[in-house]
Amino acid sequence: MGALGLGIVFALLVLLPSLEHQVHGKQSNYELKMCDIYQGRWVYDASYPLYDSSLCSFIESAFACQKNGRADELYLKYKWQPFACKLPRFDAEDFLERFRDKRIMFVGDSLSLNQWQSFTCMLHAASPESEYNFERIGSTSTFKFQSHNVSLMLQRNAFLVDMAHNKYGRVLKLNSIDHKDGLAWKEFDVLIFNTWHWWLHKGRKQPWEFIQDGNTLHQDMDRFVAYEKALRTWARWVDKNVDPTKTKVFFQSISPTHWNASFWGNPEGRNCTAETRPLAEPPYPRSPHPAQVIVEKVLRGMSKPVNLLNVTALSRLRKDGHPSIYGNEGHRGMDCSHWCLPGVPDTWNQLLYTELIRN
């Protein structure tokens, strides 16, 4: 073999490790893209939680369970492990660099607030010395990271469709989107929508006097029917107005509650209070949440791509993650609907981060 041949062999030997690394890297990315990240289990991880909530003074008191006196910490130590792949660990600097000069908005109820506050803290705690601006104008809150000009915003909008105030009282209009809301949504690079939490409220907690469907005013109607009609109105708005080359749209699936301990086989318990560990398997009934069935049906019928942030099943396992008596500034009532921070919404955001980087 001549000098040229020996040179080529030597070059190949040098390059092989690099080529192998590239192939495996591509395979890993492919596996992540093909992986169902919502099928898995909760596993103990001593390195958790992802952040120290004391670094985030802006967290709502209702979610600050440790500050409000919750002494147990085991619920902080669980991470979500998909069966078929590993989730990339949340990288705040990578996220901010990817979304430099971008605007991201969460639109929904207090569960959107829960997730938005988790995300702002995950980013801020990674670089607590970095400058940020926080402001709240009406129903919209903005958390802006100055170093990368990234705006993370929240619009409190419990139903997504229009809520009008007229001589009859408050009217939930199932067939229309508020014009100002629609104009605002068009301006964002990422939109994460959510609605469900308030649809079943009745009595003093019911936030409307009438439901309008077409030209008909109802004092009440089947709430699941109303929910589906409203989601279809939202879906039509997305199909008509969103340019998927400019805006990524997500829908956060139903956030489960844990008000009845008998559902997870604890006849001694009444609700989520004193629960400290996740469930190893789904509680009964194991049939899908009826509102989740509606969400998935509506999304399947859309012409524009909407990513389902499918957190319902994995969150059903986390009976231990709610504020219980450690929300609402501590020992004022019981909350088995929202989530402690740090906690389960951090995983929702890790899944959101994974969806964004793998697509």
Residue 329 pLDDT: 59
Question: Which residue in this structure is represented by tokens 């956060």?
Answer: 252
Burial of 231 (0-12, 13-18, 19+ CB in 10 A): buried
Residue 258 pLDDT: 95
d(CA 28, CA 22): 10
Residues 348 and 255: beta-carbon distance below 8 Å:
no
d(CA 110, CA 124): 21
Residue-wise pLDDT for 227-263, tens only, equals 999 999 999 999 999 999 999 999 999 999 999 998 8
Residues 171 and 211: beta-carbon distance below 8 Å:
yes
Assigned fold of 39-358: Rossmann fold (3.40.50)
pLDDT under 70 in the chain at which residues? 1-27, 285, 329-332
Retrieve residue 121's tokens: 């803290």
d(CA 296, CA 33): 20
Residue 282 pLDDT: 83
Residue 330 pLDDT: 53
Q: What is the 3-state secondary structure (H, E, C) of 78-147?
A: EEEEECCCCCCCCCHHHHHHHCCCCEEEEEECHHHHHHHHHHHHHHHHHCCCCCEEEEEECCEEEEEECC
pTM: 0.90
Helix, strand, coil in percent for the chain, rounding step 5: 35, 20, 45
Catalytic positions, written as ranges? 110, 335, 338
d(CA 139, CA 248): 22
Please list, in sequence order, all residues whose beta carbon lies within 8 angstroms of the beta carbon of residue 335, skipping any fewer than 6 positions away.
62, 322, 323, 324, 327, 328
Crossing angle between the packed helical segments 290-300 and 223-241, to the nearest 10 degrees = 30
Any bridge partners for residue 5, and if so which? none
Amino acid in the structure at residue 176: S
Domain ranges of the chain: 39-358
